[in-house]
């Protein structure tokens, strides 16, 4: 099952000619969600031929313009194209009225249910629980209330050990029960232990989205062991003072956090517009965490 | 003195891969103003290397998202780049609080004065009066309160007839008075009529921006004789029913309006996303008004 993220925007506060404000599309086990929705996200989706129609939910980390100003335009386009299924939005509470004000003054009448779920940044909270995965909001430390998000697959069904089942002539009808972990009792009343007929479920994978925040060690426990961490890396360490002042993170500290949290893979992004060449940011992160990668718009990264 | 418009966005409600929502930059006698500011206007400005710093004012026709959703992002970038001179915004009244809400929740503190001037669409109103030009808002008829804008140069100074002045040895110190229309009295007390020493001022030019509106004949008198008319042409006439239903104009009716108002040149835009090829829209407008042109993003059109 797919678990991958496509980068739609990689820029910090101001866009550049070839970089756009924060947005990414996450495909988690065939559920598509958007994480942040900076201005021109819908144009980026057009550019990369990504359909709006499959988006089930939108997660907004905070109310700086570069993380949400594309939302009303995207909702209008989605509405225009005749959606009827619900759309969930997880975002800081004030956004709800800002959306409603726009609807009111633009005379917008949604043809689909918009379900708004306010987030808080006091503590970790499970904000979505589906049969295949769960989503947590986690507190970050930025100039305004900000949350990161952790997307975690649920333990799936056990896999059938086909050879073992065929040897015992287990009827197909029993397979679903075996996948759920139950033992098999044959027609003679003999009990066959589940562990002899199945293999463990696939490894559970997880993805963490961390943008924007200052570096703080306590974050590590919230994102510990995730398979892929997206972390902002707005500045090089030579601008550490600027990072501290604006409550952002340097590429060096993004690498440090990846190591501290023992994640498998680090993806950095949210680059300051001052950097045309991103290589120095990547090299800096790599000095502390080797498996670091640049988030490049239009590229898709597997959480595996 | 320049009087020209650069198209930044030519699309109607939804953008396409290569067309963006409404925005244009007008240079009127070296004063730069933005007319409408759809999503991604700041990206378009980056793309076409248009500086934000010279923009003196922004005019918003109405509060459909495709005409204003780029405003908050643009203001943030302008602020980020350290502007200190005032910026005037002319727009429907509710926009002011929507901007202030965004500032409040994003923690934005402007470093420059933002002067908001609410527009009304009951009647024609002079909304800006500078020494070189004046701007009028004009009522349009759309689904929500909407105004068009007319930009009209003021009559300039008379031109010195250099040869006539030199023949009479008119001192340079008298030139400014001559340009203002006063007669020249030489040292012997002889009166020389102004008309013998000067030539008439340059022709006064004007530009009208009309988007979005249904076709209504009364509009013609508000835009009569303008040198260039930008008029929405969302649909071909074969979709006249759709135009009537959504209170938009067809290319045919845009041409009809240009003829009725006896304008010099027509620029059509605000194209429905359904039209990949715009030629049929142009051809349709031309059947009723020969000097019609397509508004193409990145192109500059002289009001002369």
Asked whether residue A182 falls in the same domain as residue A41, the answer is: no
Q: Which residue of A has its CA nearest to B48?
A: A17
Select from A221, A214, A270 the least CA-distant residue to A243.
Answer: A214
Give the three-class secondary structure for A193.
coil
Distance from CA of A69 to the nearest CA of B (A): 7
Residue B304 pLDDT class (50, 70, 90 cuts): confident
Asked whether residue A216 falls in the same domain as residue A264, the answer is: yes
pLDDT average, residue stretch B200-226: 96
pLDDT average, residue stretch B256-285: 98
CB B28 within 8 A of CB B153: yes
CA distances from A28 to A49, A141, A302, B208, B249 (A): 19, 26, 10, 50, 44
pLDDT given for residue B156 in this prediction:
86
Which residues neighbour A174 within 8 Å (Cβ) at sequence distance 6 or greater? A184
pLDDT given for residue B200 in this prediction:
93
Which residues neighbour A236 within 8 Å (Cβ) at sequence distance 6 or greater? A250, A251, A252, A275, A280, A281, A284
Distance from CA of A60 to the nearest CA of B (A): 13
Give the CA count within 13 Å in the CB-facing half-sphere of B188. 5
Select from A110, A55, A59 the least CA-distant residue to A87.
Answer: A55
CB B282 within 8 A of CB B268: yes
Give the three-class secondary structure for A84.
coil
Burial profile B262-279: b = 16 or more Cβ within 10 angstroms, e = fewer: ebebbbbbbbbbebeebe
The helix or strand, by DSSP H or E, that contains position B41, with its residue range, turns out to be helix B41-47
pLDDT digit string, tens, across residues B150-175 = 999 999 889 999 999 999 999 999 99
Which residues neighbour A222 within 8 Å (Cβ) at sequence distance 6 or greater? A124, A136, A138, A139, A148, A150, A208
pLDDT given for residue A156 in this prediction:
86
Q: Which residue of B has its CA nearest to A45?
A: B17
Asked whether residue A12 falls in the same domain as residue A105, the answer is: yes
Q: Does B73 sit within 8 Å of A106, measured CB to CB?
A: no
Asked whether residue A41 falls in the same domain as residue A101, the answer is: yes
pLDDT given for residue B154 in this prediction:
94
Provide the CA B49 distance to its chain's centre, in angstroms: 20
Read off the tokens for A158. Answer: 């056990």
How many contacts does A have with B, using Cβ atoms within 8 A? 108
CB B159 within 8 A of CB B229: no
Burial profile B235-260: b = 16 or more Cβ within 10 angstroms, e = fewer: bbbebbeebeebbbbbbbbbbbbbeb
Asked whether residue A44 falls in the same domain as residue A104, the answer is: yes
Asked whether residue A62 falls in the same domain as residue A188, the answer is: no
Q: Does A304 touch chain B (CB under 8 A)?
A: no
Domain extent at residue B258: 3-156+202-302
Asked whether residue B167 falls in the same domain as residue B28, the answer is: no
Residue A304 pLDDT class (50, 70, 90 cuts): confident
Read off the tokens for A100. Answer: 């409603």
pLDDT given for residue B166 in this prediction:
93
pLDDT digit string, tens, across residues B228-257 = 999 999 999 999 999 999 999 999 999 999
Provide the CA B94 distance to its chain's centre, in angstroms: 22
Q: Does A77 sit within 8 Å of B73, measured CB to CB?
A: no
Asked whether residue B164 falls in the same domain as residue B222, the answer is: no
What total of structural domains would you count in chain B?
2
- B65 CB neighbours in chain A (<8 A) are 72-73, 76, 102, 106, 108
Q: What angle do CA B128, B132, B138 make, to 5 degrees?
A: 35
Read off the tokens for B170. Answer: 């008119």
CA distances from B72 to A221, B89, B109 (A): 36, 12, 13
Q: Does B69 sit within 8 Å of A73, measured CB to CB?
A: yes
pLDDT digit string, tens, across residues A170-199 = 999 999 999 999 999 998 999 999 999 999
pLDDT digit string, tens, across residues B65-120 = 999 999 999 999 999 999 999 999 999 999 999 999 999 999 999 999 999 999 99
CB A160 within 8 A of CB A197: yes
- Among partner residues B15, B17, B106, which is closest to A144 by beta-carbon distance? B106
**In sequence order, what are the beta bridge partners of A32?**
A27, A55
Q: Does A95 sit within 8 Å of B97, measured CB to CB?
A: no
Q: Does A16 sit within 8 Å of B80, measured CB to CB?
A: no
Full strand arrangement of the beta sheet holding A23-28: A114-119, A87-92, A55-59, A31-37, A23-28, A3-9, A300-302
CATH (domain of B273): 3.60.15.10
pLDDT average, residue stretch B281-295: 98
Q: Does B97 touch chain A (CB under 8 A)?
A: yes
pLDDT given for residue B153 in this prediction:
96
Q: Is a pLDDT exceeding 90 seen at residue B1?
A: no
- B21 CB neighbours in chain A (<8 A) are 73
Q: Does B66 sit within 8 Å of A76, measured CB to CB?
A: yes
pLDDT digit string, tens, across residues A121-166 = 999 999 999 989 999 999 999 999 999 999 999 998 899 999 999 9
Distance from CA of B61 to the nearest CA of A (A): 12
Give the three-class secondary structure for A59.
strand
ipTM passes above 0.85 = yes
pTM over 0.80: yes
Q: Does B45 touch chain A (CB under 8 A)?
A: no
pLDDT given for residue B202 in this prediction:
87
Q: Does A15 sit within 8 Å of B46, measured CB to CB?
A: yes
pLDDT digit string, tens, across residues A20-69 = 999 999 999 999 999 999 999 999 999 999 999 999 999 999 999 999 99
Asked whether residue A75 falls in the same domain as residue A185, the answer is: no
Asked whether residue A172 falls in the same domain as residue A77, the answer is: no
Distance from CA of B91 to the nearest CA of A (A): 12
Q: Is the dihedral of CA A18, A24, A28, A31 positive or negative?
A: negative
Give the three-class secondary structure for B60.
coil
Average pLDDT, chain B: 96
- A298 CB neighbours in chain B (<8 A) are none
Asked whether residue A90 falls in the same domain as residue A191, the answer is: no
**Share of residues in chain B with pLDDT > 70 (%):** 100
Cα separation, A72 vs B25, whole angstroms: 23
pLDDT given for residue B78 in this prediction:
96
Last residue of a domain, one of A199, A229, A254: A199
Asked whether residue B139 falls in the same domain as residue B187, the answer is: no
Which residues of B are part of the catalytic machinery? 66
Q: Does B76 sit within 8 Å of A106, measured CB to CB?
A: no
Q: Does B55 touch chain A (CB under 8 A)?
A: no
Last residue of a domain, one of A199, A231, A252: A199
């Amino acid at each position: 099952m797919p678990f991958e993220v496509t980068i739609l925007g990689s820029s910090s506060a101001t866009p550049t000619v070839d970089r756009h404000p924060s947005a990414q599309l996450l495909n988690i086990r065939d559920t598509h969600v958007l994480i942040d929705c900076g201005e021109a996200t819908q144009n980026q989706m057009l550019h990369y031929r990504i359909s709006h129609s499959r988006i089930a939910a939108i997660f907004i980390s905070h109310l700086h313009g570069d993380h949400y100003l594309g939302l009303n335009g995207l909702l209008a386009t989605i509405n225009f194209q005749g959606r009827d299924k619900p759309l969930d939005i997880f975002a800081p509470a004030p956004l709800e009225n800002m959306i409603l004000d726009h609807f009111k003054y633009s005379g917008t009448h949604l043809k689909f249910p918009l379900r708004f779920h306010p987030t808080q940044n006091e503590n970790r909270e499970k904000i979505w629980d589906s049969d295949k995965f769960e989503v947590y909001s986690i507190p970050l430390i930025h100039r305004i209330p900000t949350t990161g998000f952790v997307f975690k697959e649920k333990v799936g069904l056990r896999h059938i050990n086909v050879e073992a089942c065929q040897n015992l002539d287990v009827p197909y009808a029993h397979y679903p029960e075996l996948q759920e972990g139950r033992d098999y009792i044959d027609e003679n009343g003999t009990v066959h232990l589940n562990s002899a007929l199945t293999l463990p479920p696939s490894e559970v994978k997880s993805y963490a989205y961390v943008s924007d925040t200052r570096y703080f060690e306590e974050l590590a426990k919230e994102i510990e062991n995730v398979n892929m961490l997206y972390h902002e890396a707005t500045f090089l360490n030579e601008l550490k003072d600027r990072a501290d002042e604006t409550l952002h993170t340097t590429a060096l500290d993004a690498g440090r956090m990846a190591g501290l949290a023992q994640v498998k893979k680090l993806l950095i992004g949210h680059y300051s517009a001052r950097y045309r060449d991103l290589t120095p940011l990547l090299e800096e992160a790599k000095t502390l965490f080797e498996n670091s990668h640049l988030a490049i718009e239009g590229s898709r990264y597997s959480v595996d």
